[in-house]
Chain A
Amino acid sequence: MKCRNLLSFLACSTFAFTSTAAESVSGAESQGRSDLNLRPGVTDISNQVYDLHMLMFLICVIIAVLVFGVMFYSMVVHRKSKNAKPANFHENIKVEIAWTVVPFLILIGMAVPAANTLIDMEDASKPDMTVLITGSQWKWHYKYMDNDVEYFSVLATQQEQIKNRLQKGENYLLEVDRPLVIPTGQKVRFLITSDDVIHSWWVPDFAVKKDANPGFINEAWARVNEPGIYRGQCAELCGKDHGFMPVVVIAKEPAEYQAWIEEQEAIAQRAKEEEQRLLAMNMSMDQLMTQGKKTYDTVCAACHMPNGEGLPGVFPAIKGSPIATGDVDAHIDILINGVTGTSMASFAKQLTMSEIAAVITYQRNAWGNNTGDMVQAKDINAAMNGKE
C-alpha cells in the first residue's frame, strides 16, 4: 500500500473528493459572495434572513435620511450667520407623542416577520440526518449519527502561508483537511457541543451560528438547496488559534452523498484493519522519528512550538520536560486521554496508534531529550484497550 498511514491515506482520499467536488461547484461558490453585504446564502432560511436584513437596512436608511435631512436643513437655513432669530418653543405634546408612537408602530412592523423567521429557524424537528459537531481547541470533530463515520476537521492552510513565507492561496484560512459533507435537499440537523471552551459553529451561507458549550448540547439545522462548498469560521473567541479553525461544508446531491458516505464507511473499516496490521509490526527508530516529526509538526507544533519549547506560561515545553523524559506510561496516558482542564485534548481519535507511538518516540528523542525510548503501536494499544 502506497499510503503508509491513516493520515496520509485520508489526505489522499480527501484530496480526491475535494478536487472533484470543487470542479463541479466552483461556479456556485463564487456567486453570492459579497465583499460589502450579507450573502443571501443557499437555504430558504438564509434567504429569509437576507430579506429581513435588507428590510431592516432599508428602514434604518429611511429613518436616517429623514432625521438627518431635517437636521441638515436646519443647519443650513437656521444659522446665526444668516441672521436667523431663535424661535421660542420648547415643547409640543402632540409632536412628542407622535414621535414616540410612530417608531413603536414601525418596530411592530419589524418584529412580526422577524418572529416568523425565528420560529422556522428554531424548529429542528424531523431531520433527515444528524451530525454531531464537537468543537475543541482548535479544530472541529464531525460524527455522523446515522453512519459509522467520524473525523476531525483541521485547518489545511500551511504555516508557511500564515508566516508570509509562501504565496497565500485562494482560500487562505478558509480551507480544512476534511470538510463536512452533507446531502442537498435534506434537512440536516447539527448537534453542537464542545470539549473545552466555548466555540461557535458558523456557516454564513446557511445562516447557522450556534455556540458549542462544553457539557451542553445545542441544535441547529439546514436544508441546502444547491450543491457547493460553503465556508465559515469559529465565531466565539476560544483562545490562541481562534482565528485558525475554519468550517468547510460540502453539499452534494443525495446520490453522490450516499456514495461518499458508503466510501467513508469502507475507508474507516479498512483503516481499522490497517491499524490492526500495524500493531503487529515494530517500526525502526528512524521510521518512528521521521513519522513522529511529521505528525508533531502538523499536530503538536501549534502549541508546543516546532522547537519543543512551548509558550512559557501558556503551553508547556516538551524539550526537557519531566513528562517527555520521565515515565513512558504517563507520557502515553497524556496523549491518549488528554489532560482535564487544559488545552491538551485526547488524540486517541485524531491520530492512529502508530502515529501516536511515533510522535511520542519523537518527543522523547528530539531536542536533546535523548531518552532512547522507542514506543510502538502495540504499547499504545495496550494503554488504550487494557493489557490482554
Chain B
Amino acid sequence: MTSATDTTAHVDGEHHDDHHHIPKGLTRWLFTTNHKDIGTLYLWFAFIMFLVGGAMAMVIRAELFQPGLQIVEPNFFNQMTTVHGLIMVFGAVMPAFTGLANWLVPMMIGAPDMALPRMNNWSFWILPFAFLILLSSLFMEGGGPAFGWTFYAPLSTTYSGDSTALFVFSVHIMGISSIMGAINVIVTIFNMRAPGMTYMKMPLFVWTWLITAFLLIAVMPVLAAAVTMVLTDKFFGTSFFDAAGGGDPVLFQHIFWFFGHPEVYIMILPAFGIISQIVPTFSRKKLFGYASMVYATASIALLSFVVWAHHMFTTGMPVAAEMFFMIATMLISVPTGVKVFNWVATMWRGSLSFEIPMMFAIAFIVLFTIGGLSGLMLAITPVDFQYHDTYFVVAHFHYVLVTGAVFSIMAAVYYWLPKWTGKMFDITLAKWHFWCSLISVNVLFFPMHFVGLAGMPRRIPDYALQFADFNKWISVGGFAFGLSQLIFLALLIKACRHQGESVSDQVWDGAEGLEWEIPSPAPYHTFDTPPVVK
C-alpha cells in the first residue's frame, strides 16, 4: 500500500508504527509534516498574533481615549498603528485562514495530507521569525516602522529610520511563507482529490481557498517587489519613487495597491467559504446557488485586479481613470451581493437552529454587509474625496476585516473544534464570548462612521474636541472587545485539554461533507484509503 501519510513515517524512521502513535514533545511540533499538526500551529500562532496586535490596538485606543497626548508620543503612536496593521493582516488573519486550510482541505477532499508536507512545515516555521524580526525592530533606536502598513514612499524610503531594512526583510519572509502555503493548497486540490470529487462537487471552502491561493500566487510577488524597491531606494540609491531621479511617488501607490486590493479579497474569500459551509448545516438545507457562489467568487477575484486605484482617487488622476475605477469598484458589489442573497435564500424556509457557529455566521452576514455597503459608498469618487483617509474608512475596513474575516474564523473554529478535539467546547463560555464580542465590536467600530463623516482623519494621535465624546465610546468598546477575546482564550485552552462532552462523528445534526464522516476526534491520519465520492 502506498499512501501519502507515509511521509510522516520519517519522523520515527519506521513505516508501520506511525499509524498507531503520535510523536510527543517539542520535536513533534518542530518537525511535524502532519497537516493537522501544522493547522493547529498556524491557528495558535494566528491567535497569539491576534492578541499581540490587539494589545497594540489597546495602546492606540488608550491614547485616543481623550484629546491631548497622554500615554505615548506621536512617533510611537505611528509605530503602533503600523505594526498593528501589519500583524493583523499578515500575522493573524492570513495565518488563521492557512491554518484552517491545512486542517480542512485534505479532510474535505478526501486526501490523506497536504501534497507537500515538508514544505508545509517550512512555510509555517519561518513565520515566527518574520514576526520576531518585525517586533524586535520596535526596540531599535528610533523605533520600528512608523509609516503605516501601506508604507507609502517617500515616507518609507528617504524619510524613514533604519528599521525599514528589518521591516522589508520580515515582509519578504511573510511573503515566502504565504506563497509556499498557497502552492501547497493548489497542488493538494489539483492532484489529491478523492475519486469522484469533481471540481463542482468540492465544498465551497475548498473552492474559495483555491481561488484565494491563486490570488496569493499572483500578488504576493508584487508585494515582494514593492518592498524590494523601497529597500533599494532607501539604501542603494535607486530612484523608483523619487522625483529627483526621475521616479514617481505615486507609482509606489499603484504597485502597492495592485497587491493591496487583491490582498483584501485574500482575507475575505475564505470567509465566504466558511459561511457557505456553516449556514446550510444549521438551516438543514442545501446551499442555495452553489454554482453561482463559485462563479461569484471567481469574478470577485478577477475584478479585484482592476480596481486598485480606488484607494488613490485623491492622488490626482484624470477624470476618465477615476470613472473607470469607480465603475469597476461598484461592479464588485454585484457578485458580493449575490453571495449575501444566496446565504439568505439558504436560510429561507430552512429549519434553523442557532448554535454558536451559526450565531457567528449570522453576525458575519449582517456586519459584513454593513461593511460592504460602506465600501460601496466609498467607491463613489466625488464622495470618496470626503471619506478618504478618515475614520469612515477605518470603520469600513474594520467591519469587513474584524466582523467579517475574524468573525468567520471564530465561526469556523467553533464549527470544527468538536471535530478536531472530539469534545464539545464550553457552550456557556462560547455564548459569553459571542455576545460580549458582538456588542463591544459594534460599540467599537460603529461610531467610527460618525467621527469619520464629521471629519476626523485616520492615523492621528490627538484630535479636535468635537470628536471627543465618540472617541471615548470607541475606546470603551475597544477595551471590552479586547477583554472578550480572553474568554475565547480560556475556552480554547479548555478545548485543547480535551475537556467536555464527547461528540458524535457528525457533531452537528445538519452537517454534511467528508470531514463529518470520519471519527471525532479526527484521527492523526485520515483517508489513508481514499473515500469514494458519489
* Chain A residues with a Cβ under 8 A of chain B: 33-39, 48-49, 52-53, 56-57, 60, 63-64, 67-68, 70-71, 74-75, 78-81, 84-92, 95-96, 99-100, 103-104, 107, 110-111, 114-115, 117-119, 121-122, 137, 161-164, 168, 170-174, 196-198, 200, 202, 204, 207-211, 213-216, 218-219, 232-244, 311-314, 341-343
Contact = CB atoms under 8 A, between A and B. Distances in A.
Contact of A60 (B319, B377, B460): B377
Contacts of A237: 78, 147-148, 152, 155, 458-459
Nearest to A90: B286
Given A198-B152, A239-B155, A168 B382 contact: no
B351 A84 contact: yes
Interface in B155-178: 155, 158-159, 161-162
Contact of A67 (B68, B333, B341): B341
15 contacts: A35-B469, A67-B344, A68-B366, A75-B362, A84-B349, A103-B333, A107-B330, A168-B67, A213-B243, A236-B314, A239-B146, A240-B75, A244-B74, A312-B141, A313-B141
B470 interface: yes
Given A85-B351, A202-B457, A314-B142, A110 B330 contact: yes
Nearest to A102: B337
A341 B385 contact: no
Contact of B334 (A100, A168, A213, A311): A100
B373 interface: yes
B377 A57 contact: yes
Nearest to A37: B453
A115 to B, nearest CB: 6
Contacts of A80: 284, 351-353
Interface string B454-482: 11011111111111011000000000000
Contacts of B470: 35
B350 interface: yes
Nearest to A174: B464
A331 B383 CA distance: 47
Contacts of A161: 68
Contacts, number: 301
Contact of B289 (A33, A90, A242): A90
Contact of A111 (B161, B327, B346, B458): B327
Nearest to B288: A90
Interface string B193-218: 00000000000000000000000000
B521 interface: no
Contacts of B469: 35
A91 B290 contact: yes
A75 B334 contact: no
A53 B362 CA distance: 28
B513 interface: no
Contacts of B146: 239-240
Contact of B385 (A49, A75, A173, A313): A49
B142 A122 contact: no
B347 interface: yes
B351 A211 contact: no
A85 B285 CA distance: 10
Nearest to A111: B327
A122 B454 contact: no
A214 B249 contact: yes
Contacts of A211: 314-316
A162 B464 contact: no
Nearest to A101: B334
Contacts of B344: 67, 70-71, 74
Contacts of A119: 319
B353 A53 contact: no
B454 A243 contact: no
Contacts of B370: 64
B463 A243 contact: yes
Contacts of B159: 137, 196-197, 239, 341-343
Contacts of B249: 198, 213-216
Contact of A33 (B140, B326, B380, B466): B466
B356 to A, nearest CB: 15
Contacts of A207: 382, 385-386
Given A198-B155, A239-B159, A314 B334 contact: no
Nearest to A41: B386
Given A56-B376, A164-B68, A173-B464, A121 B382 contact: yes
A81 B353 contact: yes
B314 A209 contact: yes
From B283, B286, B316, B326, residue with most partner A Cβ within 10 Å: B316
Contacts of B334: 100, 103-104, 107
A351 B102 CA distance: 62
Contact of B382 (A89, A92, A117, A197): A117
Given A57-B377, A163-B68, A204 B455 contact: yes
B529 interface: no
B225 interface: no
Interface in B406-444: none
B485 to A, nearest CB: 26
A114 B311 CA distance: 17
B350 A240 contact: no
Contacts of B221: none
B489 interface: no
Interface string B307-334: 0000000111001001100110011011
B369 interface: yes
B350 A86 contact: yes
Interface string B349-364: 1111110000000100
Given A107-B333, A237-B78, A75 B341 contact: no
Contacts of B331: 107
Given A96-B289, A172-B465, A48 B382 contact: yes
Given A90-B286, A118-B319, A196-B159, A168 B465 contact: yes
B136 interface: no
A84 B366 CA distance: 23
Contacts of B491: none
B184 interface: no
B39 to A, nearest CB: 30
Given A60-B373, A68-B369, A237-B148, 13 more contacts: A35-B454, A87-B285, A90-B286, A118-B382, A122-B319, A163-B68, A171-B464, A198-B155, A214-B154, A216-B249, A235-B388, A242-B74, A314-B143
